[in-house]
Amino acid sequence: MVSETFPASLHAKEREKLCSFAACAAERAYARYSHFRVGAAVLGLRGTYLGANIENASYGLSLCAERVALAAALTQGETSIRALAIAFLDVPSDFAVNEALPCGACRQWIAELAPGAEIIICPGQRVLRLSDLLPDAFRLREPEQPIEAEVTHVQG
Ligand SMILES: [Zn+2]
Each residue's pLDDT tens digit in the chain (156 positions)?
Answer: 455 555 578 999 999 999 999 999 999 999 999 999 999 999 999 999 999 999 999 999 999 999 999 999 999 999 999 999 999 998 877 888 778 899 999 999 999 999 999 999 997 789 999 999 999 999 998 878 666 666 666 665
Residue 116 lies in a domain: yes
For the entire predicted model, the pTM comes to 0.86
| Residue 68 CA, ligand 1 centroid: distance in Å | 9
Other C-beta atoms closer than 10 Å to the C-beta of 30 total 13
Residue at 39 is within a domain? yes
| CA 50/CA 63 separation, integer angstroms | 13
pLDDT at 1: 45
CATH at residue 42 = 3.40.140.10
Q: How many domains does the chain have?
A: 1
Asked if the structure places residue 147 within a domain, the reply is: no
- How far away, in angstroms, is 156 Cα from ligand 1 center? 41
Residue 63's pLDDT is what?
Answer: 98
Q: Is 66 a catalytic residue?
A: yes
Inter-CA distances, 136 with 37, 107, 114, 129, Å? 30, 12, 15, 13
Distance (angstroms) between ligand 1 centre and the Cα of 48 equals 19
How many angstroms is it from 8 CA to the middle of ligand 1? Answer: 25
Residue 3 within any structural domain of the chain:
no
Instruction: Kindly give the distance from the C-alpha atom of residue 37 to the centroid of ligand 1, in angstroms, as a whole number.
Output: 12
What domain range includes position 71?
12-131
Tell me whether residue 119 is in a domain.
yes
Q: Are the C-beta atoms of 85 and 65 separated by less than 8 Å?
A: no
In a domain, 4, yes or no: no
Of 66, 99, 118, 144, the catalytic one is 66
